[in-house]
Amino acid sequence: MATTTPKSAFWRGVFDALPFLVVVAPFAFLFGVVSAEVGLDMVQIIGMSLAVFAGASQFTALQLMQEAAPLAMVVITAMAVNLRLVMYSAALTPHLGMAPRWQRVLIAYFLVDQTYALGVSRFEENPQWDLPMRTGYYFGVIVPLYPVWMICTVLGAVLGAAIPEWLALDFAVPICFLALVGPMLRTPAHIAAALTSATLALVLAFIPFGLGLLIAATLAMMVGARVEVWQDRRAAA
């Protein structure tokens, strides 16, 4: 079996990320289209992606803008959607927490669903990897994702009006999250949290400004945590 090096781990990350471009590209294109429809100019659209680089919260903010929500509500809700990144960060800390500070800054900036899902999966599969291999893999994952996100965002903002509605580019949003979440439903706690969030999100969809989604996510995390505690107690008994 070939020996893994930081360089080979980097290229493995690049290749692992390539399948996600199938959904990331239309996802970013759709973001550019919607941003232009909301009334943002090109500088604002690019600035938003550079400053935030978190598709789910960016779409949430745009939706609230379309609904004429107060600015404070837009900011708070977008930040709440990104709270999942805190959990991602905690999960990655045992693997990447000893990296130099400048690398940790970049790791935090590029922490998105894809880098988290692929990173955690590969790090758990390869516990023998040292820190340079893990950081190499992580940055390899982002290499194809970040430029495609930015380029397709700009293309969406420029060309969006010419795209026929029958193409239904909004399919990229649910497919992207299904591709990320599906392989991670490996324990009863994960499954319980997923079922709780999906059910409550539908039940609470009538609440304005997307607050129902936040409530559903909060309760789902609580349910998942309780199931995990119950499993640990049962295993220890």
100 falls in which pLDDT band (50, 70, 90)?
Answer: very high
Whether 50 and 120 share a structural domain: yes
Please check whether residue 17 lies inside any domain of the structure: yes
Q: What are 48-97's pLDDT values in tens digits? A: 888 877 777 777 777 777 767 777 777 777 777 777 788 788 889 999 99
Range of the domain at 200: 185-237
DSSP assignment of the chain, as one string? -PPP-HHHHHHHHHHHHGGGHHHHHHHHHHHHHHHHHHT--HHHHHHHHHHT--HHHHHHHHHHHHTT--HHHHHHHHHHHTTHHHHHHHHHHHHHTTS-HHHHHHHHHT--HHHHHHHHHHHHH-TT--HHHHHHHHHHHHHHHHHHHHHHHHHHHHHGGGS-GGG-GGGHHHHHHHHHHGGG--SHHHHHHHHHHHHHHHHTTTSGGGHHHHHHHHHHHHHHHHHHHHHHHHHH-
Count the domains in the chain.
2
pLDDT of residue 110: 92
Whether 116 and 202 share a structural domain: no
Q: Say what the pTM is.
A: 0.72
Last residue of a domain, one of 134, 164, 194: 164
Whether 128 and 235 share a structural domain: no
